[in-house]
Amino acid sequence: MAGGRGGARRGAVVAAAALAVACCCMGVASAAPYYVGDGGGWSLSSASWPNGKQFRAGDVLVFRYNPLIHNVVAVGEEGYSRCTTPAGSRTYESGNDAVRLARGDNRFMCTRLYHCNFGMKMVVNAA
């Protein structure tokens, strides 16, 4: 009899594990990729690109650009407003970078050739 009850517990544990895996997979499947700047890519005209779009935490921004003249730097509010790269900022330089959005404001800028000062920066808010 004790063996029968243990089998039920194992079945419940297996079912719970399967449910947890399914939930994780649904979360990944619901994350949407967004190509920054659409066909034009990450450029001096990308600042208004997020306008009218609804982003969620976990969505992925794909930055496509010429790495000889642009980069992508993820910064906080102060770095964004001053166009500076504080210590610990994440810099992307491949020309084809995927960045997963965190909940709240996600700030990005280009630090090459004073591009940030010319407006090559944007804020993406993820719910």
Q: Tokens 């517990």 appear where?
A: 9
The DSSP annotation for the chain comes to -HHHHHHHHHHHHHHHHHHHHHHHHHHHHH--EEETTGGG-SSTT-TTTTTT--B-TT-EEEEE--TTT--EEEE-HHHHHHT---TT-EEE-SSEEEEEPPSEEEEEE--GGGTGGGT-EEEEEE-
pTM exceeds 0.85 for this model:
no
From first to last of the 127 residues of the chain, give the pLDDT tens digit. 555 555 555 544 444 444 444 444 444 457 889 999 999 999 999 999 999 999 999 999 999 999 999 999 999 999 999 999 999 999 999 999 999 999 999 999 999 999 999 999 999 999 9
* Residue 3: both structure tokens together: 């063996």
Provide CB contacts within 8 A for 93, sequence distance 6+.
67, 71, 72
